[in-house]
Structure 1
């Protein structure tokens, strides 16, 4: 080792937990080690003496620069490296000696990158390049805290990393360091002669110091003050770039998206600095802007790659190294959505590889990715990436990550694509049944719903369901039914006995069947009408293929409802019930609970016994409604009512569909008119047996109209029936609105051209209902294609219904008492053509009022 090339100068105090690591790492690199102790009370001096005899004692004077400058009095080598007790260097740092020997004489200062660990697992890091090595005698430190070296001559960057452990604190050490550093910075900022750049530097250090405080308001107060100082300076200094990123993250977490965007973009004044790109990526992730997430994630990784190669180029802290996996996950998600298999695979593998080193939340990343996979509808692409999904599942198992991957597993299995190892993820009863069904191909519908049938069944509907879908041997079924029967009263026992008779019939035990049928009749007279035809058939021929009583009983109990029995289970279990059972019931329930229209349609089309489901065609109609194939929707809605007339009055359940509805074909109607809405209006309002429950809204040249188009008499009759049956009608005009309109008309005589106004309102305003120049219409807009007013009309008001045209569930579409819809602009134009001037338009909930 050449003598006196490199001295190391340290100031220490109470560092016995760190100092050995630091000295051990530097002992074979430095020619001499200078240590100035500022008042240790622990074993620090004893440890230092094991490595150097150049230990000096200097009293602490509350000034880091004073202490640092004292340590610089003692080195005797050409170069001096400032080093701290909570730092270390690695084996490759030995190359620093060769590097220093080659430097030209006019180079006096060397910047080195410092990599700071932020957690005990040494995964989270940040990096900054600072001046560390100086020609002896060319540097002096100033300022009492976060002391800055004032150095002479040219500078150079070198890629030799110093590793810093000082940010890994215990709670006690954190508090101690916080109070000491904060007080020193505040004291320094009291200096009235401090220049703007120095003031910003120390404000940023104070901001970072306040980040470890429990008093969060202090941090944000300092942050706003720092931002103000940077804005006044009208340029961004190096330390300001770091601050803009950090404060931008604070603004982002607060939900101040515009401010965070402004801060991140301002930090791009240093375009090679990676952190602002990460900030913008995080911002656009919060805003759910995929394209910009992708753009900035890509830029961030490009910049971080440069920073990793050239950390010495950055004179401020880089925290982005700990977010690399996040960026790779964003890119993986982007390429997954774009269905680029190779790039998706590359980035998700990178994310899985990097996250354990950086301490990023790989669990959250993979949860996000699996959720996106579950949304993919392209089955070919799902097949293409299934080996990647297999690898990810293995990764999750290997690392014992608790992630809900079942939405993706369901997606694959539902499309007949096998994934390996899914049995390791099965935790719930349902998931275990899915795995069992996959392995042994048995049907587990009944097993899932009734863990113990004899204890779990409490109603006749449950018994009927159990009877229909029970698939094990019939002798066991007889035993279960016999035990369940004991729970019920005599009338319901009669139903169970008839079912027992059905089982014996199928077993060919005709005497037992007849015996149980007769006992059933004794206990329940209602079932006799189902049993007698069976007994009569058996008198003719003893044949076990004769239909029993079950189907008739099922129809009797189930005709009013879509499903005889509704399972109490979680949404995802209902959505994928078909994965534990091949039964029509499982397919139907899965179809009801999925939002995927194509899957819904596929499941329904795979049902074999359509007649078991009285709402089958109604559900098909709803699919075509959502797909906006309104012609198909109309066809299936009509068919659903024809197959099950009860669907003709879903809201009241009183008027079954009979096809006897009066309608007309208006002259303005064309078969080519566009259909913009279709539905069963009885979902919300009954047609009271007068108005066809199945309706479409079609677009003519100037307005919308219903098809079938009900006659005037039909509309009149439906109103009369409705008023007798319905107390509260959502389309009754509010009395306050009527009062307001009548006042605005300013007339004591008004011609009410269709509906009448309550007498109490007329009396209160002293208004007479008779022929007049002032008119009020409450119906004509929504029932007539043209506005027809009395010849002597000079002013008036028209009240009409106006739906939200973008809301297909708006109640107005379902109102059985209207057949025309016009926009306010169309009504105004029509009135203007008639010579009227529009004076005011009022909007209130479903209603509009146009005064002229």
Structure 2
């Protein structure tokens, strides 16, 4: 290391190579103008590398490869003769700015021996994705040697300076075969070094473990990485310090944690990196990802702004960063997250300033711009209408850029938002995003104003659609058709040829209605009569029309349609299950292709679970509410979701009114018991008791004609009760009727019964309820337990008391002990079937039961949590 150059040349290049014919011309051709001497040591090339090297230098030497990079590198350092030596590889390149290196070196004081240069590594064939790091590259001749067989480290002395002259590295762009080969070589050498070098310090070991971790990460051998991280952490904890390469490892490990959803651990990892080096932009990128995942949008702005502040410094002074800056290739992703922060904060000016940079940066970095645009679209749609409309140019660019990239955004969301906000839109920007026939209909409607409801529901061949769906669809067609009368008559005449007598008869009646409105009374009478002849049951609807026409020939006379519609369709909300035939997301937006009441109603029905406010708005916009036999039922369901007492009372009233207008709503499940308003009940509680639940229980069960289909659950002091509160005699009738139907039942299984009986310290027991089936169940169970079943025992079992009776302490006062089963709903879930179960008329929680039992001077109370909704309580005096 004491050798001095014999001549006064300034800068030599020292390169080791093997089989680099595809790189050498670029590497040596770019560096030759700026150096005085090129030294190339070949370690066994079998291609044309040596011949290519000789085009640029006559100082080509040969050295046998011994699986040791340091040994080969040190061999090459004996040949340079200039004052300074640049360590340079065949897969690298310099550009014109490198020419200033000579002036820089000539100006350095004598006590400076080492110069750090930035290396920008390309990661893809498009040369868009990069990483940057500053490393020791230029040494005063004779002042450096290398150690370790792989990822060899320079050992140097004297002062160090940084210089901004960039070296461009292409070594990470490999074919799959070469990638695997380099991975295996590098990994094997690192493992060999870590296993065989016994005198390695902990700091050295940390360095090479980090290199091994990066190697495993680069080649996606993820299952090998995590034990390496654990050892690194253990050594760092011992040494309380780390090499700069550790910043990269900890950051990459943080990304892995984040990908698993372990956000707390990932956040700690990123903050650890910041504590080690606050100038590192990488952890700020990681924190941005965590912020979005946690929906902590207020943190996106400070983290995003700090990221770009640090990245700017990296780009302006790459020589300062002695470790790899990984996230320089993720600028567009970070910019997107920052823009989301600005959107959420309503800082639209800053959003616009940063928004356009996303497109520029993504083109440079090669990031997944389609993915970024989809993410932005989601947050732009969430803006309020005023802010959304103010971003008109940005939205147009989003739609245009996405379409040019072949990305189809959910265009219906944008159309809805444009219509709601009043933003001036361009249909041509929508068109490339159309993915379905429905969306095509929406665009056609925007352009022409025509109604496409029938085309969507029945198909463009309406006759085939009606044949598919049957009579209900014919009635639907007749009610919603808005075209020329001749077209309507043409279709009806085709349908009347059907072999289905009902379809044929109704189509004839509807032709009669059509001619009646046209004033062609002769044809109207003719078709009405033919309709009755075809389907006599229609006579009860048509004969009153004929009687009216005998009195006066008048187009204002009501035809038979409304009564026919009610007779055939009142029991069904729709003529078919729309959710099975059509895309539910399209049904939510069907109002976009039609301004009909039907479209508004359908949109409301399918928006109920996702956007209840919008569902309510559509229901309220319907002009002819009486056309929809389930209208009040749907409106009631909207109010029943509220927590407001006035809304819940309104929901109850609407449900009752719905049943009065449409008797079928009393038994939605099995469709047998019509509403008659007669459901014997008792007066319980106070009118001012809080309502906690309202609904039509026939949605999930049936009152079987004796228990009211409309129910509210109210809260008294220490229990919940059903309103109306069915009389006890009603429950007996209901239980008898229930035997004839396969409906959901709440019952105690034998396993739960045996488990609970084992907790009861008694020799005999009896059943509280007068129920032969329950008696058979309990007598079978006590035989297995070894307890005697004895009528009038002072110990009892009850399956129903806590769910049916109010005054339980009075009933239990004559018993010394007992086992009481009871069911509870999920109090936070209004869809829980327990609320709907007709036999339940009381719910109690654990405290309420204890309060009742403690009135009886109970010595022992034990609660048992069983399966699902089922609980049990044991009491002993």
Category of TM-score, reference length = shorter chain:
over 0.9
Q: Is the 8 A contact 1:158 1:312 kept in 2?
A: yes
Q: Is the 8 A contact 1:775 1:796 kept in 2?
A: yes
Q: Quote the Cα distance in structure 2 between the aligned partners of 1:177 and 1:726.
A: 72
Structure 2 residues without counterparts, runs of 5 or longer: 1-6
Q: Name which of 34, 37, 40 aligns with 1:32.
A: 37
Q: Is the 8 A contact 1:363 1:402 kept in 2?
A: no
| Structure 2 match to 1:90 | 95
Q: Quote the Cα distance in structure 1 between the aligned partners of 2:814 and 2:600.
A: 65
Give the superposition deviation at 1:418.
4.0
Indicate yes or no: 2:120 matched with 1:115. Answer: yes
Say if 1:213 and 1:426 are closer, same or farther in 2 by CA, change over 3 A: closer
| Structure 2 match to 1:406 | 412
TM-score, normalised to structure 2's length?
A: 0.90
Q: Quote the Cα distance in structure 2 between the aligned partners of 1:327 and 1:233.
A: 34
What's the secondary structure of 2:352's corresponding residue? helix
Q: Is the 8 A contact 1:37 1:56 kept in 2?
A: yes
| Structure 2 match to 1:569 | 582
Q: Which deviates the most, 89-98 or 749-758? A: 749-758
| Structure 2 match to 1:677 | 693
| Structure 1 match to 2:398 | 392
Indicate yes or no: 2:366 matched with 1:353. Answer: no
Say if 1:312 and 1:501 are closer, same or farther in 2 by CA, change over 3 A: same
Q: Is the 8 A contact 1:370 1:405 kept in 2?
A: no
Q: Is the 8 A contact 1:775 1:793 kept in 2?
A: yes
Say if 1:794 and 1:301 are closer, same or farther in 2 by CA, change over 3 A: farther
What's the secondary structure of 1:8's corresponding residue? strand
Q: Name which of 663, 675, 679 aligns with 1:661.
A: 679
Q: Deviations 1:440-489 (Å, cap 9, x if unpaired)? A: 11111112232112333312222222222222212222222223333433
Q: Quote the Cα distance in structure 2 between the aligned partners of 1:3 and 1:456.
A: 94
Q: Which deviates the most, 560-569 or 283-292? A: 283-292
What's the secondary structure of 2:818's corresponding residue? strand
Q: Quote the Cα distance in structure 2 between the aligned partners of 1:811 and 1:403.
A: 39
Q: Quote the Cα distance in structure 1 between the aligned partners of 2:837 and 2:302.
A: 49
Indicate yes or no: 2:212 matched with 1:206. Answer: yes
Indicate yes or no: 2:746 matched with 1:731. Answer: yes
| Structure 1 match to 2:4 | none
Structure 1 residues without counterparts, runs of 5 or longer: none
Q: Is the 8 A contact 1:641 1:657 kept in 2?
A: yes
Q: Name which of 621, 624, 627 aligns with 1:609.
A: 624
Q: Name which of 495, 517, 535 aligns with 1:524.
A: 535
Give the superposition deviation at 1:392.
1.3
Q: Quote the Cα distance in structure 1 between the aligned partners of 2:202 and 2:605.
A: 67
Say if 1:152 and 1:700 are closer, same or farther in 2 by CA, change over 3 A: same
Q: Name which of 810, 818, 830 aligns with 1:788.
A: 810
Q: Is the 8 A contact 2:496 2:507 kept in 1?
A: yes
How many residues end up aligned between the 2 structures? 847
Q: Quote the Cα distance in structure 2 between the aligned partners of 1:812 and 1:566.
A: 26
Indicate yes or no: 2:833 matched with 1:811. Answer: yes
Q: Name which of 70, 76, 80 aligns with 1:75.
A: 80
Give the superposition deviation at 1:260.
4.1
Say if 1:570 and 1:184 are closer, same or farther in 2 by CA, change over 3 A: same
| Structure 1 match to 2:714 | 698
Q: Quote the Cα distance in structure 2 between the aligned partners of 1:823 and 1:384.
A: 53
Q: Which deviates the most, 579-588 or 654-663? A: 654-663
Indicate yes or no: 2:518 matched with 1:507. Answer: yes
Give the superposition deviation at 1:544.
3.0
Q: Is the 8 A contact 1:7 1:80 kept in 2?
A: yes
Q: Quote the Cα distance in structure 1 between the aligned partners of 2:183 and 2:84.
A: 33
Q: Deviations 1:384-425 (Å, cap 9, x if unpaired)? A: 334422221122234443433433333333565442222332
Q: Deviations 1:337-390 (Å, cap 9, x if unpaired)? A: 3443233334433323312221221211221222233445x3333333344222
| Structure 1 match to 2:605 | 592
Give the superposition deviation at 1:810.
1.5
Q: Quote the Cα distance in structure 1 between the aligned partners of 2:193 and 2:757.
A: 75
Indicate yes or no: 2:574 matched with 1:558. Answer: no
| Structure 1 match to 2:439 | 431
Give the superposition deviation at 1:301.
3.4
Give the superposition deviation at 1:619.
0.9
Q: Is the 8 A contact 2:505 2:535 kept in 1?
A: yes
Q: Name which of 759, 762, 770 aligns with 1:744.
A: 759
Say if 1:732 and 1:482 are closer, same or farther in 2 by CA, change over 3 A: same
Q: Quote the Cα distance in structure 2 between the aligned partners of 1:822 and 1:533.
A: 56
| Structure 1 match to 2:3 | none
Say if 1:772 and 1:489 are closer, same or farther in 2 by CA, change over 3 A: closer
What's the secondary structure of 1:686's corresponding residue? coil
Q: Quote the Cα distance in structure 1 between the aligned partners of 2:738 and 2:322.
A: 79
What's the secondary structure of 2:712's corresponding residue? strand
Give the superposition deviation at 1:216.
4.9
Indicate yes or no: 2:164 matched with 1:159. Answer: yes
Give the superposition deviation at 1:807.
1.3
Q: Quote the Cα distance in structure 2 between the aligned partners of 1:708 and 1:385.
A: 54
Give the superposition deviation at 1:120.
0.6
| Structure 2 match to 1:779 | 800
Q: Name which of 459, 463, 473 aligns with 1:454.
A: 463
TM-score, normalised to structure 1's length?
A: 0.93
Give the superposition deviation at 1:743.
4.3
Indicate yes or no: 2:763 matched with 1:758. Answer: no
What's the secondary structure of 1:123's corresponding residue? coil
Say if 1:329 and 1:627 are closer, same or farther in 2 by CA, change over 3 A: farther
The CA RMSD measured in Å over matched residues stands at: 2.7
Q: Is the 8 A contact 1:63 1:143 kept in 2?
A: yes
Give the superposition deviation at 1:658.
2.6
Q: Quote the Cα distance in structure 2 between the aligned partners of 1:785 and 1:385.
A: 61
Q: Name which of 858, 863, 870 aligns with 1:841.
A: 863
Say if 1:530 and 1:791 are closer, same or farther in 2 by CA, change over 3 A: closer
Q: Quote the Cα distance in structure 2 between the aligned partners of 1:247 and 1:729.
A: 51
Q: Quote the Cα distance in structure 2 between the aligned partners of 1:789 and 1:573.
A: 57
| Structure 2 match to 1:825 | 847
